[in-house]
Amino acid sequence: MRENLVEVRHLKEYFNISVGMFSSKPLKAVDDVSFTIRRGETLGLVGESGCGKTTVGRTLLHLYRPTAGEILYDGKPVGTKAEISEYRKKATMVFQDPYSSLNPRMTVSDIIGEPLDIHRMYSSRKEREERILELMARVGLNSEHASRYAHEFSGGQRQRIGIARALALKPEFIVCDEPVSALDVSIQAQVINMFDELQEQMGLTYLFIAHDILVVRHISDRIAVMYLGKLVELADAKEIYEHPLHPYTKSLMSAVPQPDPRIARANRRIVLSGDIPSPLNAPSGCPFRTRCPHATEACAASMPELRDVSAGHFAACHRIGELN
Protein backbone atom coordinates (compact mmCIF):
# COMPACT_ATOMS: atom_id res chain seq x y z
CA MET A 1 0.00 0.00 0.00
CA ARG A 2 1.46 3.36 -1.04
CA GLU A 3 1.62 6.17 1.49
CA ASN A 4 -0.73 9.14 1.27
CA LEU A 5 0.84 12.23 -0.30
CA VAL A 6 -2.24 14.47 -0.06
CA GLU A 7 -4.94 14.23 2.60
CA VAL A 8 -8.09 16.38 2.62
CA ARG A 9 -10.22 16.42 5.78
CA HIS A 10 -13.73 17.91 5.88
CA LEU A 11 -12.91 20.58 3.29
CA LYS A 12 -15.47 23.37 2.86
CA GLU A 13 -15.43 26.28 0.45
CA TYR A 14 -18.32 28.76 0.76
CA PHE A 15 -18.69 31.98 -1.24
CA ASN A 16 -20.88 34.79 0.09
CA ILE A 17 -23.31 35.79 -2.65
CA SER A 18 -25.32 39.01 -2.48
CA VAL A 19 -29.07 38.29 -2.54
CA GLY A 20 -30.35 41.75 -1.69
CA MET A 21 -29.33 45.29 -0.87
CA PHE A 22 -27.83 44.44 2.54
CA SER A 23 -27.93 40.65 2.70
CA SER A 24 -25.84 37.76 1.45
CA LYS A 25 -26.09 34.00 1.44
CA PRO A 26 -23.36 31.32 1.39
CA LEU A 27 -22.96 29.37 -1.84
CA LYS A 28 -21.67 25.99 -0.70
CA ALA A 29 -19.38 25.10 -3.62
CA VAL A 30 -17.59 22.40 -1.61
CA ASP A 31 -19.32 21.05 1.47
CA ASP A 32 -17.49 18.68 3.84
CA VAL A 33 -15.34 16.73 1.37
CA SER A 34 -12.66 14.27 2.55
CA PHE A 35 -10.31 12.07 0.51
CA THR A 36 -6.68 11.00 0.17
CA ILE A 37 -4.33 10.76 -2.81
CA ARG A 38 -1.56 8.19 -2.61
CA ARG A 39 1.96 8.97 -3.77
CA GLY A 40 2.38 8.19 -7.47
CA GLU A 41 -1.31 7.60 -8.24
CA THR A 42 -3.92 9.49 -10.24
CA LEU A 43 -7.21 10.27 -8.52
CA GLY A 44 -9.92 11.17 -11.05
CA LEU A 45 -12.60 13.63 -9.90
CA VAL A 46 -15.79 13.61 -11.97
CA GLY A 47 -19.27 15.15 -11.91
CA GLU A 48 -21.56 17.49 -13.79
CA SER A 49 -20.64 21.12 -14.45
CA GLY A 50 -21.08 23.22 -11.32
CA CYS A 51 -20.66 20.37 -8.85
CA GLY A 52 -17.53 21.88 -7.26
CA LYS A 53 -14.73 19.89 -8.96
CA THR A 54 -12.63 22.89 -9.98
CA THR A 55 -13.20 24.56 -6.62
CA VAL A 56 -11.80 21.48 -4.88
CA GLY A 57 -8.66 21.67 -7.03
CA ARG A 58 -8.14 25.39 -6.54
CA THR A 59 -8.80 25.21 -2.80
CA LEU A 60 -6.40 22.28 -2.54
CA LEU A 61 -3.62 24.57 -3.82
CA HIS A 62 -4.83 27.49 -1.65
CA LEU A 63 -5.77 29.58 -4.68
CA TYR A 64 -8.95 29.95 -2.62
CA ARG A 65 -8.67 30.15 1.15
CA PRO A 66 -10.59 27.18 2.63
CA THR A 67 -13.69 28.13 4.62
CA ALA A 68 -13.10 25.12 6.87
CA GLY A 69 -11.26 21.84 6.91
CA GLU A 70 -7.65 20.74 6.75
CA ILE A 71 -5.21 19.99 3.92
CA LEU A 72 -2.17 17.84 4.68
CA TYR A 73 0.75 17.33 2.29
CA ASP A 74 3.17 14.49 3.01
CA GLY A 75 1.68 14.24 6.50
CA LYS A 76 2.16 17.94 7.34
CA PRO A 77 -0.62 20.58 7.52
CA VAL A 78 -0.65 23.39 4.95
CA GLY A 79 -2.11 26.59 6.37
CA THR A 80 0.38 29.32 7.24
CA LYS A 81 1.91 31.66 4.68
CA ALA A 82 5.32 29.96 4.98
CA GLU A 83 3.78 26.49 4.64
CA ILE A 84 1.82 27.54 1.53
CA SER A 85 4.92 29.08 -0.07
CA GLU A 86 6.89 25.86 0.46
CA TYR A 87 3.92 23.74 -0.67
CA ARG A 88 3.66 25.60 -3.99
CA LYS A 89 7.16 24.45 -4.93
CA LYS A 90 5.92 20.86 -4.75
CA ALA A 91 2.31 21.25 -5.92
CA THR A 92 1.08 23.05 -9.03
CA MET A 93 -1.79 23.21 -11.53
CA VAL A 94 -2.57 22.77 -15.20
CA PHE A 95 -5.55 24.96 -16.05
CA GLN A 96 -8.57 24.13 -18.21
CA ASP A 97 -8.44 26.84 -20.87
CA PRO A 98 -5.12 27.11 -22.72
CA TYR A 99 -6.37 30.30 -24.38
CA SER A 100 -6.85 32.33 -21.17
CA SER A 101 -4.28 30.76 -18.81
CA LEU A 102 -1.23 32.10 -20.72
CA ASN A 103 -0.18 35.76 -20.65
CA PRO A 104 -0.42 37.09 -24.26
CA ARG A 105 2.29 39.69 -23.57
CA MET A 106 4.91 37.13 -22.54
CA THR A 107 7.03 34.89 -24.75
CA VAL A 108 6.91 31.13 -24.28
CA SER A 109 10.33 31.30 -22.63
CA ASP A 110 9.11 33.85 -20.06
CA ILE A 111 5.85 31.95 -19.41
CA ILE A 112 7.69 28.71 -18.63
CA GLY A 113 10.46 30.52 -16.75
CA GLU A 114 8.15 32.59 -14.52
CA PRO A 115 7.95 29.97 -11.70
CA LEU A 116 11.76 29.73 -11.80
CA ASP A 117 11.98 33.53 -11.46
CA ILE A 118 9.48 33.70 -8.58
CA HIS A 119 11.17 30.97 -6.54
CA ARG A 120 14.74 31.85 -7.69
CA MET A 121 15.49 28.32 -8.84
CA TYR A 122 18.58 29.11 -10.96
CA SER A 123 22.02 30.58 -10.40
CA SER A 124 22.63 32.08 -13.85
CA ARG A 125 20.78 33.13 -17.01
CA LYS A 126 22.37 30.23 -18.85
CA GLU A 127 21.04 27.70 -16.32
CA ARG A 128 17.56 29.27 -16.64
CA GLU A 129 17.62 29.03 -20.45
CA GLU A 130 18.83 25.41 -20.35
CA ARG A 131 16.06 24.46 -17.92
CA ILE A 132 13.39 26.13 -20.12
CA LEU A 133 14.62 24.34 -23.27
CA GLU A 134 14.71 21.04 -21.36
CA LEU A 135 11.09 21.53 -20.26
CA MET A 136 9.99 22.43 -23.79
CA ALA A 137 11.61 19.30 -25.19
CA ARG A 138 9.94 17.18 -22.51
CA VAL A 139 6.45 18.29 -23.63
CA GLY A 140 7.18 18.09 -27.37
CA LEU A 141 7.95 21.73 -28.21
CA ASN A 142 10.88 22.91 -30.35
CA SER A 143 13.56 25.30 -29.12
CA GLU A 144 12.64 27.87 -31.80
CA HIS A 145 9.23 28.23 -30.14
CA ALA A 146 10.85 29.89 -27.10
CA SER A 147 10.79 33.43 -28.53
CA ARG A 148 7.21 33.26 -29.83
CA TYR A 149 3.98 34.40 -28.17
CA ALA A 150 1.02 32.28 -27.06
CA HIS A 151 -1.33 33.52 -29.82
CA GLU A 152 0.94 31.96 -32.45
CA PHE A 153 0.16 28.43 -31.24
CA SER A 154 -2.74 25.99 -31.53
CA GLY A 155 -4.80 24.94 -28.49
CA GLY A 156 -2.86 21.69 -28.08
CA GLN A 157 0.50 23.49 -28.25
CA ARG A 158 -0.69 26.10 -25.75
CA GLN A 159 -1.68 23.37 -23.32
CA ARG A 160 1.80 21.86 -23.71
CA ILE A 161 3.23 25.27 -22.75
CA GLY A 162 0.98 25.25 -19.66
CA ILE A 163 2.18 21.75 -18.76
CA ALA A 164 5.83 22.79 -19.19
CA ARG A 165 5.19 25.74 -16.85
CA ALA A 166 3.62 23.37 -14.29
CA LEU A 167 6.72 21.14 -14.44
CA ALA A 168 9.21 24.00 -14.03
CA LEU A 169 9.80 23.52 -10.29
CA LYS A 170 9.99 19.70 -10.51
CA PRO A 171 6.75 19.25 -8.55
CA GLU A 172 5.52 16.03 -6.94
CA PHE A 173 1.79 16.79 -7.20
CA ILE A 174 -0.19 18.36 -10.06
CA VAL A 175 -3.88 19.33 -10.11
CA CYS A 176 -5.08 18.85 -13.70
CA ASP A 177 -8.25 20.92 -14.07
CA GLU A 178 -10.04 19.52 -17.16
CA PRO A 179 -6.79 19.88 -19.15
CA VAL A 180 -8.15 18.31 -22.35
CA SER A 181 -11.77 19.50 -22.42
CA ALA A 182 -10.98 22.53 -24.63
CA LEU A 183 -8.96 20.47 -27.13
CA ASP A 184 -9.89 18.54 -30.28
CA VAL A 185 -10.46 14.82 -29.72
CA SER A 186 -7.38 13.87 -31.76
CA ILE A 187 -5.20 16.15 -29.61
CA GLN A 188 -6.79 14.95 -26.37
CA ALA A 189 -5.30 11.48 -26.78
CA GLN A 190 -1.81 12.92 -27.31
CA VAL A 191 -2.00 15.10 -24.20
CA ILE A 192 -3.41 12.28 -22.03
CA ASN A 193 -0.64 9.93 -23.17
CA MET A 194 1.89 12.65 -22.35
CA PHE A 195 0.49 12.91 -18.81
CA ASP A 196 0.96 9.14 -18.46
CA GLU A 197 4.55 9.31 -19.71
CA LEU A 198 5.43 12.26 -17.44
CA GLN A 199 4.00 10.43 -14.44
CA GLU A 200 6.12 7.38 -15.19
CA GLN A 201 9.29 9.39 -15.85
CA MET A 202 8.99 11.88 -12.97
CA GLY A 203 7.00 9.93 -10.36
CA LEU A 204 4.18 12.50 -10.39
CA THR A 205 0.92 12.34 -8.45
CA TYR A 206 -2.24 13.75 -10.11
CA LEU A 207 -5.67 14.98 -9.14
CA PHE A 208 -7.30 14.72 -12.57
CA ILE A 209 -10.53 16.74 -12.80
CA ALA A 210 -12.85 16.04 -15.74
CA HIS A 211 -16.46 15.47 -16.74
CA ASP A 212 -15.63 12.86 -19.41
CA ILE A 213 -15.89 9.45 -17.74
CA LEU A 214 -13.92 7.69 -20.50
CA VAL A 215 -10.96 10.09 -20.17
CA VAL A 216 -10.94 9.70 -16.39
CA ARG A 217 -11.19 5.92 -16.56
CA HIS A 218 -8.22 5.75 -18.94
CA ILE A 219 -5.84 7.81 -16.79
CA SER A 220 -7.05 7.22 -13.20
CA ASP A 221 -6.16 4.63 -10.58
CA ARG A 222 -9.16 5.63 -8.45
CA ILE A 223 -12.23 7.74 -9.24
CA ALA A 224 -14.20 10.06 -6.94
CA VAL A 225 -17.69 11.24 -7.96
CA MET A 226 -19.05 14.63 -6.84
CA TYR A 227 -22.59 15.98 -6.82
CA LEU A 228 -23.56 19.48 -5.66
CA GLY A 229 -20.49 20.01 -3.50
CA LYS A 230 -20.54 16.54 -1.92
CA LEU A 231 -18.50 13.41 -2.55
CA VAL A 232 -20.97 10.59 -3.23
CA GLU A 233 -18.71 7.70 -4.30
CA LEU A 234 -15.02 6.76 -4.34
CA ALA A 235 -13.42 3.51 -5.57
CA ASP A 236 -10.83 1.97 -7.90
CA ALA A 237 -11.39 3.02 -11.53
CA LYS A 238 -12.27 -0.48 -12.75
CA GLU A 239 -14.52 -1.19 -9.76
CA ILE A 240 -16.53 2.03 -10.02
CA TYR A 241 -16.90 1.60 -13.80
CA GLU A 242 -18.11 -2.00 -13.59
CA HIS A 243 -19.97 -1.92 -10.23
CA PRO A 244 -21.23 1.58 -9.40
CA LEU A 245 -23.19 1.70 -6.14
CA HIS A 246 -24.62 5.22 -5.83
CA PRO A 247 -27.73 6.01 -7.98
CA TYR A 248 -26.02 9.11 -9.38
CA THR A 249 -22.90 7.19 -10.40
CA LYS A 250 -25.09 4.53 -12.03
CA SER A 251 -26.75 7.23 -14.11
CA LEU A 252 -23.36 8.64 -15.18
CA MET A 253 -22.05 5.22 -16.16
CA SER A 254 -25.19 4.35 -18.12
CA ALA A 255 -24.52 7.37 -20.37
CA VAL A 256 -21.05 6.14 -21.41
CA PRO A 257 -21.10 5.14 -25.12
CA GLN A 258 -20.49 1.44 -25.83
CA PRO A 259 -18.52 0.52 -28.99
CA ASP A 260 -20.13 -2.93 -29.20
CA PRO A 261 -23.65 -2.59 -30.74
CA ARG A 262 -24.96 -5.62 -28.86
CA ILE A 263 -23.85 -4.26 -25.49
CA ALA A 264 -25.15 -0.79 -26.45
CA ARG A 265 -28.64 -2.19 -27.25
CA ALA A 266 -28.73 -4.11 -23.96
CA ASN A 267 -27.54 -1.11 -21.97
CA ARG A 268 -30.38 0.64 -20.16
CA ARG A 269 -29.92 4.40 -20.03
CA ILE A 270 -30.85 5.85 -16.62
CA VAL A 271 -32.33 9.30 -17.31
CA LEU A 272 -32.55 11.61 -14.31
CA SER A 273 -35.59 13.84 -13.89
CA GLY A 274 -35.33 17.56 -13.20
CA ASP A 275 -32.27 19.80 -13.04
CA ILE A 276 -29.42 20.14 -10.56
CA PRO A 277 -30.58 22.36 -7.68
CA SER A 278 -28.76 25.64 -7.12
CA PRO A 279 -25.93 25.43 -4.56
CA LEU A 280 -27.48 28.59 -3.07
CA ASN A 281 -30.62 26.63 -2.23
CA ALA A 282 -29.36 23.08 -1.85
CA PRO A 283 -31.94 20.53 -0.64
CA SER A 284 -31.76 19.26 2.93
CA GLY A 285 -30.19 15.88 3.63
CA CYS A 286 -28.82 14.12 0.56
CA PRO A 287 -28.28 16.67 -2.25
CA PHE A 288 -29.24 14.07 -4.88
CA ARG A 289 -32.63 13.21 -3.36
CA THR A 290 -34.63 15.65 -5.56
CA ARG A 291 -33.59 13.66 -8.67
CA CYS A 292 -33.20 10.21 -7.16
CA PRO A 293 -35.95 7.65 -8.00
CA HIS A 294 -35.19 5.80 -4.74
CA ALA A 295 -35.38 8.75 -2.31
CA THR A 296 -37.25 8.34 1.00
CA GLU A 297 -38.00 10.57 3.99
CA ALA A 298 -34.68 9.52 5.54
CA CYS A 299 -32.87 11.03 2.56
CA ALA A 300 -34.44 14.43 3.31
CA ALA A 301 -33.71 14.17 7.04
CA SER A 302 -29.92 13.70 6.92
CA MET A 303 -26.92 13.56 4.63
CA PRO A 304 -25.67 9.95 4.39
CA GLU A 305 -22.10 9.36 5.49
CA LEU A 306 -19.47 8.37 2.92
CA ARG A 307 -18.73 4.89 4.22
CA ASP A 308 -16.65 1.91 3.19
CA VAL A 309 -19.17 -0.49 1.63
CA SER A 310 -16.58 -3.02 0.44
CA ALA A 311 -12.78 -3.05 0.43
CA GLY A 312 -11.90 0.51 -0.62
CA HIS A 313 -15.28 1.22 -2.24
CA PHE A 314 -16.94 4.18 -0.51
CA ALA A 315 -20.48 5.43 -1.15
CA ALA A 316 -22.85 7.91 0.48
CA CYS A 317 -26.41 6.58 0.28
CA HIS A 318 -28.95 5.59 2.98
CA ARG A 319 -30.27 2.73 0.81
CA ILE A 320 -27.00 1.37 -0.49
CA GLY A 321 -27.66 -2.12 0.90
CA GLU A 322 -31.16 -2.37 -0.57
CA LEU A 323 -30.29 -1.16 -4.07
CA ASN A 324 -27.19 -3.31 -4.66
Among residues 243, 245, 187, the alpha carbon closest in space to that of 215 is found at 187
Answer yes or no: is pLDDT of 1 > 70: no
Q: What is the pLDDT of residue 229?
A: 93
Q: pLDDT category, 264, cuts 50, 70, 90?
A: low
Give the domain ranges of the chain: 246-324
pLDDT tens sequence across 56-111: 999 999 999 999 999 999 999 998 999 999 999 999 999 988 888 999 999 999 99
Reduced to 3 states (helix: H, G, I; strand: E, B; else coil), residue 16 is: strand
pLDDT tens sequence across 195-220: 999 999 999 999 999 988 888 988 99
Among residues 217, 239, 252, the alpha carbon closest in space to that of 311 is found at 239
pLDDT tens sequence across 158-190: 999 999 999 999 999 999 999 998 888 888 989
Among residues 12, 9, 63, 33, the alpha carbon closest in space to that of 175 is found at 63
Torsion of CA 143, 145, 148, 150, to 10 degrees: -130
Q: pLDDT category, 21, cuts 50, 70, 90?
A: confident
d(CA 250, CA 98): 32
pLDDT tens sequence across 266-323: 777 777 877 788 888 888 999 999 999 888 999 999 999 999 998 889 999 999 888 8
Q: Which residues contact 186 (CB under 8 A, 6 or more apart)?
A: none
Q: What is the pLDDT of residue 263?
A: 67
Average pLDDT over all residues of the chain = 91
Reduced to 3 states (helix: H, G, I; strand: E, B; else coil), residue 147 is: helix
pTM (2 decimals)?
0.92
